[in-house]
Structure 1
Amino acid sequence: MLAQIYHLIAFLVAAVVVLWTTPDVRNIGIKSGKLDKPGERKVHQRPMVRLGGVSIFAGAMLSLIIVWWLGGFGNLPPDKEWQVIGVILGGIGFFSIGFADDLLNLSPFIRLLLQVIVASCVWKAGVSIDFVTIPMFGIVHLGWLSLPITVIWLAGMVNAINWIDGLDGLAAGVSGIAAVVLLVVSLYMKQPAAALIAAALAGASLGFLRYNFNPAQIFMGDGGSYFMGFTLAAVSIIGLVKIPAVTAVLLPYVILAVPIFDMSAVILLRLRQGKSPFSADKRHLHHRLLNAGLSHRWAVLFIYSLTLWLGSLAVAIVGIPSGAIFACAATSLLSYTSWKVWKRSRVRS
């Protein structure tokens, strides 16, 4: 019971800090002229402050500091303590890369290079994918492949969340839903440290929706999306992937399937056309939904429902009590939103 209180504190502190600081960050952004201006690929019609990631980062970090001070992490074994420290330092590193890009507009090569460096340091701290569990074969240790696979997973999720940040509230809502599912699953699988980090991220993400949902008052920018993408990926590693069970290894890919599939599909389409995988276009899922005739809000709500449905499958797979009921409810919600998408796309055509 006491452990659950710590997780509630982590969630609430992060949410309150974000709700309290975001208006001030927005005012600072307006006065400093750090605005995201409308363009050909962009949906918004007026300049927007894109420094909201500062509030998200501050909320999550302050939450974790307070919970650590209160003793919420308990007496962690040395390896687990280094993993938590690795997630925190990695979060600082990836936020710094994104924030620098918000301010200085870094080149894609520099961004990727810095991401690989930070992800490698995080791997060294113990946030690493060391083995995979394969049916009929058991545990397969990765050896030297652990480093490139971990770096690809961490940097890949950072960019996946960044790429879906194309509509008001989309990245914050998807990340918030995924973080809540990771919180629930990590608790059930007796990974309280990972659950605490997930709780802080969930509070920060969902608290930010107060100002980011359509019509948005502020954007999170690369600082926010990089921080959330890394934290989701890192929590998946220390909370699930390190558990020697097939279901545990597969769960992160189910929970985070929406941004993973979106990024993978876009990269493949670009490569098929002979374009750079980092070239900007309008091939993302949210762009396709808008082109099909959905409104801004309905496109976001449909992707929310899809993310929630996938999260419910993860909850059911892991065997959480009432998980099947939750999955049925999420399936009903997804069916309704899918019907709305079909209906509106028929009207458009």
Structure 2
Amino acid sequence: MPYHLVAFVVAALVVLVTTPIVKKIGLKSGYVDLPNPRKVHSRPMVRLGGISIFLGSLTALMLVWFAGGFGYLPPPSEYEIWGVTFGGLLFFVIGLLDDLFTLSAKSRLVMQLGVATMAWTMGVRIEFFTVPFIEPSLINLGLWSLPVTLVWLVGMTNAINFTDGLDGLAAGISGIAAVVMLITSLFMNQPAAAILAAALAGGALGFLRYNFNPAQIFMGDGGAYFLGFTLAGIGVIGLVKTVTTVAVVLPFLILAVPILDTSTVVANRLLRGQSPFAADKRHLHHRLLDAGLSQRRIVLFIYALTFWVGSIAMAYAGVPWGKVYAVIATLLLVYACWQALKRVVRSKKQLKIELSKTDQPLSDPVSDQDSL
């Protein structure tokens, strides 16, 4: 039975059905995201869409489990699936509490570290690295396993949350990354991670029906935390645990867009003496907005960028047709860059024209008064 296809379809259908219900509940209860100078939306938006994503993914996993889809997995792999699932549930709860009651950054971080530690005890852990061109290439982390795993799980969770700044951006990035992880996990004979990736991909891509620009609902921190932690967990149990240099590199390559964006912004904040959790408008999507691109163009451009690094990961892993995907993704990215550059140049020209109009000399108020 194609359990991975079942997980994907069920998750997507549940999200499609439940999102309008969640939206109605959010509007009635008043849990909406209000516009402010740091945000780009201009009207109140329900921010509880993560409930639908979580319900879709969890329903898909439970259905596969009841249908016997986990029966062929060895006990450790099944245990790891529930470790990622339970950890994702708790991260979702943390984000949902923040959506409802606005938690402090420190309290969120403490809770995230606690949940990540629990996931580590359940087998969701990075235990070794394989480093190319170094002998021995396999480096056992030993006691460093816990801090390295915590940095990965918590860091990736917040990286996805930081990308949730434009309609459909976080959901699309997560959906594309989950599909790439699904393909690479199946190719590398990691069915446990592949089932998780299929359910997550269905939930994230199904949510785009209501979240793509112009969005009808936001996923909120609950949805972003769930997506980020689950993606990080899939990378750990499906790729990093494989004793090959290729496997260790793959999750970092697949998730390179949110990783590099978040790392750059956080480093910038620290250099300025600010908190790494301080809100600002220095993310890639903010900079592209300032350059004159529309929300939809920016989101599609970052989709193309995410697909490009994902296709490189598939080619690097030796996935069949991986090189073909990489060529197609490269062409799409070149086209997206060309379109973006045209728009930026046009925007700058328009700005110059508007500035030149405002620079016209004003009439002398005294002369005007005399003429009257």
1:33 matched residue in structure 2 = 30
Are the aligned partners of 1:73 and 1:192 in contact in 2 as well (CA < 8 Å)? no
Matched, 1:126 2:123: yes
For the pair shown, the structure with the greater C-alpha radius of gyration is 2
Q: Is the Cα contact below 8 Å between 1:315 and 1:323 reproduced in 2?
A: yes
Which one-letter code corresponds to 2:93 in the other structure?
Answer: S
2:149 paired residue number: 150
Q: CA RMSD in A?
A: 0.7
Match of 2:138? Answer: 139
Within the candidate set 99, 103, 106, 2:100 is matched to 103
1:79 is matched by which residue type in structure 2? P
Check whether the contact 1:53–1:224 (CA below 8 A) recurs between aligned residues.
yes
Cα drift, residue 134 of structure 1: 1.2
Q: Alpha-carbon deviation of 1:75?
A: 3.5
Residue matched to 2:8 = 11
What pairs with 1:153-164 in structure 2 (closer than 5 Å)? 153-164=152-163
Range 274-283 or range 238-247, more displaced:
274-283
The code of the aligned residue for 2:91 comes to F
Amino acid at match of 2:316: I
Structure 1: runs of 5+ lacking an equivalent: none
Counterpart of 1:90 in structure 2 is 87
SS at match of 2:167: coil
- What secondary structure, in the 3-state scheme, does the structure 2 residue paired with 1:132 have? strand
Structure 2 residues without counterparts, runs of 5 or longer = 349-372
Match of 2:43 in 1: 46
The letter for the 2-side match of 1:105 is: T
Q: 2:191, 2:75 → 1: CA distance?
A: 15
Cα deviation code 1:122-149 (max 9, x no counterpart): 0000000000001232211000100010
1:215 aligns with 2:214: yes
Total equivalences in the alignment: 346
Matched to 1:288, the amino acid is: R
Find the aligned partners of 1:275 and 1:90 in 2 and give their Cα distance.
30
Deviation at 1:199, TM superposition (A): 0.2
TM-score by length of 2: 0.92
The amino acid of 1:15's aligned partner reads: A
> How far 1:67 sits from its partner (Å)?
0.4
CA distance in 2, matches of 1:54, 1:264: 28
Q: Give the Å deviation of 1:80.
A: 1.6
Give the drift of 1:268: 1.1
Query: How far apart are 1:253 and its partner, in Å?
Result: 0.5
- The corresponding residue for 2:353 is none
The residue number in structure 2 matching 1:287 is 286
Question: What does 1:1-349 correspond to in 2, within 5 Å?
Answer: 2=1, 5-135=2-132, 136-137=134-135, 138-349=137-348
Identity %: 60
Q: Secondary structure at the match of 1:233?
A: helix
Amino acid at match of 2:220: G
Give the letter for the 1:147 counterpart: L
- The structural deviation recorded for 1:27 is 0.1
Cα shift at 1:332? 0.2
Counterpart AA for 1:128: R
What residue is the counterpart of 2:362 in the other structure?
A: none
Tell me how far apart the structure 1 counterparts of residues 142 and 76 of structure 2 sit (CA, whole Å).
18
Deviation at 1:35? 0.5
Query: Quick one: distance in 2 between partners of 1:16 and 1:78?
Result: 29
